[in-house]
Structure 1
Amino acid sequence: MICLRNAIELALIGANESTVVGVVMNGDLTKQHLGDESKPMSLDMTQALTLLNEHQLLIQTTQPASTQTFQHVTYDSRQVTADTLFFCKGNFKPAYLASAKAAGATAYVAETAYDEAGAGLTGIIVTNIQKAMALLGAAFYGYPQNDLFIVAFTGTKGKTTSSYFTYHIEKQHTDNHVALFSTIDRIVGNKPADKFKSDLTTPESLDLFHDMRSAVDNGMTHLVMEVSSQAYKKNRVYGLTFDVGIFLNITPDHIGENEHPTFADYLHCKEQLLVNSRTCIINAETAQLLDVYQTAKATTEPEQIYLYAREGAKLALPLDLDVTFKNVNEDLHQSDFAVTALSDKAKALALDETYELHVPGDYNESNAVSAIMAGALSGAKSTEIKQALVDVHVPGRMEMVTSPDHGTIYIDYAHNYASLKALLQFLHQQTHAGKVIVVIGSTGNKGVSRREGFGKALSEEADVAILTTDDPGYEDPKVIADAIDAHIDHERVTVQFVMDRQTAIETAINMSTPDDIVVLAGKGEDAYQKVNGVNTPYPTDVTIAKNAVKEL
C-alpha cells in the first residue's frame, strides 16, 4: 500500500505542467475546467488524487500511482473500455472488477482494496465512494454545471409536476435551450435522441454529470431537475450548488429499511437542497416550516429566501410572505388563479397576474406558483410564463380519458398519502352526483408506510377501491393489497381485489356510470411492472384505459 502523501507525490512526477487542477471554494466546485476543453473528456491520475485529497477522501493507493490519463469513467463493468477509471459502489462483487479489468480498466476507486480481482490495477482507496464518484465525475466532464442556470425541486409530492411547469416556462424564456432531469424523462437537447426515460428521480452522479455535459454540448443554457432525498442520502449531488432551490412540502414517506431510518433523517436530506442553493423558494404551508426556514437561513441571506402560500393559509410560523395566490375559478379541466407579490423583492419580479393552468387540481396551483417564481428569478417575463402554463402537459399527471357512457378517467402518479389525499379530495369536491372509484396498489420492498397512508386516504375520499398490483418487487402483491385493506374503513368504502392491473382497470371503467370518476393511481405513464427484480413490460395505465373505452 502507498500512503496518501507518497501517492500524490508519485503521481505528480512527470505530470504535464500545463495541467489544471480543480480547486474547491466554499464547498462548491469552481468554474475552472480541467485540461484542454477542445479535447475529449479526460482525467489524469494527478488531478484525481489531488481532488480527492482536497476533500479529505483519499486514504491510499494500492501501488505507485502512474501518470496515466483516463478516457472513460463508469460504475458499470459492462460499459468499460480501454483506459477506464472504474468505480466499485453499492452491492459490489469482486467479479465486477475482474470483468472491468478484462475490458480495459486501468484503475479503480473503492472503499476497500481488491487485491485479487484488482491485481495489476491501481486501486484508489477512499473513505466515501459516492462522494468520490461525484467529485471525479464532475471533473471528468469538465464541470458542466458551471455553464447551466440550474433550478432544482425537492418535496414529498409535486416535484415532477413543478419541474415540468418550470421546464415549459424556461422553454419559452430560452427559446428551447433548457434541459430537464425528472422522474419521468431526462431531456438533454431538442432532438428525439436527446430524450429518454429516467431510471431514478435523480441520476447517479456519473450519469448526472454526463447528461449535464451532453446538455451543454447541445447548446442548453438552463436545467430544471428534481432532487430526491435519496440523492443527498447517497451523495449523488455532492459538490453541486443550485441557482434556485425550491422546497415544496414534506410529509412522512420513504421511511423504511431500504430508505430513511426516521422522519428526521428524511427531513434532513430534503433540507440539504436549501443549504446548497444560492436562492431559496419555500412553500410556507409546510408543517415543518420552522425547521425548514432556519435551515435555509443558516446558509442563505434573507434577501435570497422567498416564501409563498395560498392566501389565508394558516402557517406554522408567523413569517412575512413574499408571494400569495388565490383561486379564481376551477373545474375538472383547468384552474385560474391570481398571484400577488407582497415584498419589495417579489414585486421586482413582476409576478402579479391571473394565470390559467390546464392541469386541473387546486394543489397544482401551488406547484405552478413555485414554477412561476423560479422562472421569474431566471429572468422569464410574465407573458412567457402565462403562455407556458396554458400549453403545459405533464405525462402521467392528471391525464384524462373520457367516455360518453361511463365515468371520466384520471391517470395520476399519486403514490403516497399526501398526493393521493389531495387528488381524491379535489375530485370529490368536483363530483357531486357520482362515485369516486380508485384503482391502486403499492410498491414492494420499500415505502411500507405508504400502505397505511393509502388505506387512510381511500377511507377519507373514495367510494370504491379496487386493490391491485404496483411494482411488487420481491413481495406478494396480494399481501401488499391486504396491508392497504387493513387500514380502509369498510363501512364507507367498497373494496375489491383484482391483482391483474389491466383487469382491475377494465373492471373499474366497466362498473362506472357517466357521473362517476375513475382514478388510476400510482403508475402514471410507467411502461413496466417491477417484479422479482425484472422490469416487466406493461402497456401503461393510459393505454389500457383508452383501449378499454374503445371496447365499451
Structure 2
Amino acid sequence: MELHVTPALALLREHHLLDHVSNLSEFTATAVSYDSRQVKPGTLFFCKGNFLPKYLTMAKEKGAIAYVAEQEYPEGQGLPAIIVKDEQKAMALLGAAFYGFPQNDLFIIAITGTKGKTTTAYFADHVLDAATKQHVALFSTLDRILGHNPGDQFKSDLTTPESLDLFHDMRAAVSNGMTHLVMEVSSQAYKKRRVYGLKYNVGIFLNITPDHIGRNEHPTFADYLHCKEQLLVNSDVCVINAETQNFTDVYYTAKATTQPENIYLFARHGAKVSLPDDRQLDFEYRNDLENLHESEFQLDALSDNAKQLQLDHRYTTSVPGDYNEGNAVAAIIASGLAGASAQDAVDTLDHVHIKGRMEMIATKDHGTIYVDYAHNYASTKRLLAFLKRQTNAGKVTVVLGSAGDKGISRRPGLGKALTEESPDRVILTTDDPGFEDPVKIAETIDSYIDHDQVGTVDFIMDRETAIKNAIDHSVKGDIVVIAGKGEDPYQKIKGVNVPYASDSKVARDYVAEIEK
C-alpha cells in the first residue's frame, strides 16, 4: 500500500478540504498512522483528536515523511505540512485512498439503531455466510472478523473503528477473499467523521430512542437523530423499521437521496404505523411462538418490490426475545438484497449465538441467571418485560449501573424502566464509570426509581461482588438479571481499560464454584 502526494492533494481539493501546504516536496507514503507510537519510516502522520504537539515530535523522530493537521506545528519543521479544514474527514479520505478503496471490492450491509445493531449484524453475518460459502467479514461491537485465520478474528475496541483502522481492516478482508461485509455504524462514527465518504450497498435503520446524549457525545436528541440518519443518506438501498420513533423524519431523509423503490419498510403485523399516502409496507411479520430459547415468526412480502426477493417464509431464531424478531427480519431482507435466499436464513437463524445477548445460565439452587447488554430505558424495559411474560418467576433481582462521561440521559431511563417493571430487588453497581464517581452515578439512577414500586435497592460498587451477592441471595425459581456489560472484558476507569472477566464469566465461574 502507498499514497503519492499528488493524488492525495487532488482528493482533498475535490472535497474542498485542503487549506494549504507548507514545505511541499515530492513524497510517497508507505504507511499511515494517527498514533505516534506506531509510526515507522515513510509514514504520513495525522494529528487528530486529543492531539499534543509532542506526538508530532515523536512521529518525526520515528521517520514520519509528512503530516496532516488543521494547523502548522513548529514540531513538524522540515516536514511537508498538509493543512486541512477538517482533520477527521481528511483522514477518512486519505485512509481509503492509501488502502486502495477496499470498499469498492465489498458488498456492504451497514446497520444503525439505538438497540439491536449487534444482534442484527450477527443474524446477517450467519445468513450471508451460508449464501457466500463463508466469504463474509464482520465489524461489530463484539468482534471484528476479517477472515478465517486466528489472527483475523479479534475483539473490537469501538463499534465503528477509526477511519484508518476501518479501511485497513477492509483491505485485509478483501485480501483474505471476503466478498461481503456486515458492519455496525454508530452515531459517533458520523459525529467523529470516521466513515466520511463511505457508501453502503444496503443501510438498515432499526430504531431510535433518546440515548448517547451528554457532554461527551451528542448535545441534543436532534443531533443524535441527524447522525443516525446519515447512514441512510449514504446507502444505495435502505431497509427501515417502520415502527421506529421519528419514522416520518427517518423515511423522508432516506427518500431525499434514494428512489422510493429502493426503500424497504417492514413492521410487525398489527403495529400502528403512520405511512406516507404514497407508501405501503413492503414486509410484515407475525409472531407465532416465543419462549426463553427461541422465537418463531412468519414473514410476508406485501409489495410487488418485496415479492421479487422471495423471502416469504416461517423462520425460527435461537436468540430469544420477541423484540429480536424485528432484528432478524431486517437481517433477512438485507441479506436477500445481497443475494441470499430464504432457505439460507432458515438454515442458519436457528443456531445463532451472540455472547452477552440474552445469555441464560441455569443453576441448581440459585434460580436462573440472564446476562444481557441492555443499558438504557428501551432495552432494559423490553428485557424485563419479556422475562416476566415468559417465566413464573419467584423473586426478580436486577444488577446494573450506567457508564460515566457519556449517555447521561440513560440514567433517568434506567430508573424509569425499573419502576415500570418492578423487580423485587435492584443492585446498583459500577459500569464503565470513566472519570465520574460510580456512587454518584448510582445515586442518580436511584433518584429516578419509585421505591414504592420496586422492592429493595442496594448499592454494591464492586461489580463482581454485586453479581455474586445477587446469586447468593437467589433461590430456585428466582431470576437474576445482570444488565449492561455482557461480554465486555474490561471496565473503563479514569481513562484506563481495567481488565474485567465479563459478566458472563463472573456469573458462570461463581455458579460453578458454589455448586461443586
- How far residue 436 of structure 1 moved from its aligned partner, in angstroms, is 2.3
Q: Does 1:485 align with 2:446?
A: yes
1:406 corresponds in structure 2 to 366
* Equivalent in the alignment of 1:390: 350
For the 8 Å contact 2:393–2:479, the answer to whether it is kept is: no
Alignment match, 1:466: 427
- Pairwise mapping of residues 66-465 of structure 1 onto structure 2 (< 5 A)? 66-114=25-73, 116-317=74-275, 319-461=279-421, 462-465=423-426
State the 1:489 CA deviation.
Answer: 1.2
SS in 1 for 2:40: coil
Aligned-partner Cα distance in 1 for 2:102–2:424: 50
Q: So what's the TM-score if we normalise by structure 2? A: 0.98
How far 1:315 moved relative to its partner? 1.2
Deviations 1:123-146 (A, max 9, x none): 000000011001000000000000
Give the drift of 1:532: 1.1
Question: C-alpha distance in 2, partners of 1:543/1:232?
Answer: 33
Partner of 1:13: none
Any idea what the Cα deviations from partners look like across 1:253-275, whole Å, max 9, x if unmatched?
A: 11111111111111011000000
Cα distance between partner residues in 1 of 2:297 and 2:389: 18
2:373 partner letter = Y
- Taking the aligned partners of 1:58 and 1:178, their CA distance within structure 2 comes to 36
Does residue 482 of structure 2 align to residue 540 of structure 1? no
Q: Give the Cα–Cα distance (whole angstroms) in 1 for the partners of residues 364 and 66 of structure 2.
A: 64
Distance in 2, matches of 1:177 and 1:313, equals 36
Partner of 1:495: 457
CA contact (8 A) 1:151 1:242 kept: yes
Per-residue deviation, residues 9-43 of structure 1 (Å, max 9, x unmatched) = xxxxxxxxxxxxxxxxxxxxxxxxxxxxxxxx000
Structure 2 unpaired stretches of 5+: none
Q: TM-score, normalised by structure 1?
A: 0.91
SS in 2 for 1:405: coil
Q: Distance in 1 between matches of 2:294 and 2:395?
A: 21
2:166 and 2:216 map into 1 onto residues whose CA distance is 22
AA in 2 matched with 1:119: Q
Taking the aligned partners of 2:259 and 2:104, their CA distance within structure 1 comes to 22
Counterpart of 1:105 in structure 2: which amino acid?
Answer: A
* Cα RMSD for the two superposed structures: 0.9
CA 1:400–1:433: 2 relative to 1, 3 Å: closer
- CA drift at 1:390: 1.0
| Offset, 1:432 | 2.9
List per-residue Cα deviations over 1:431-450 (Å, max 9, x = no partner).
23423211001111111111
2:483 aligned with 1:521: yes
Query: Which residue identity does 1:55 align to in structure 2?
Result: H
Could you tell me which of 58, 62, 73 is aligned with 2:18?
A: 58
* Cα distance between partner residues in 2 of 1:353 and 1:231: 35
Determine the C-alpha separation between the residues in 2 that align with 1:509 and 1:208: 40
Deviation at 1:474, TM superposition (A): 1.0
Greater Cα shift, 460-469 or 101-110: 460-469
Gaps in structure 1 of 5+ consecutive residues: 1-40
Cα deviation code 1:93-141 (max 9, x no counterpart): 0000000000000100000100x20011010000000110010000000
Runs of 4+ in 1 over 6 A off after TM superposition: none
Give the percent of matched residue pairs that are identical in Structure 1 and Structure 2.
65
Question: Is contact 1:431-1:515 (8 Å) kept?
Answer: no
State the AA in 2 paired with 1:123: A
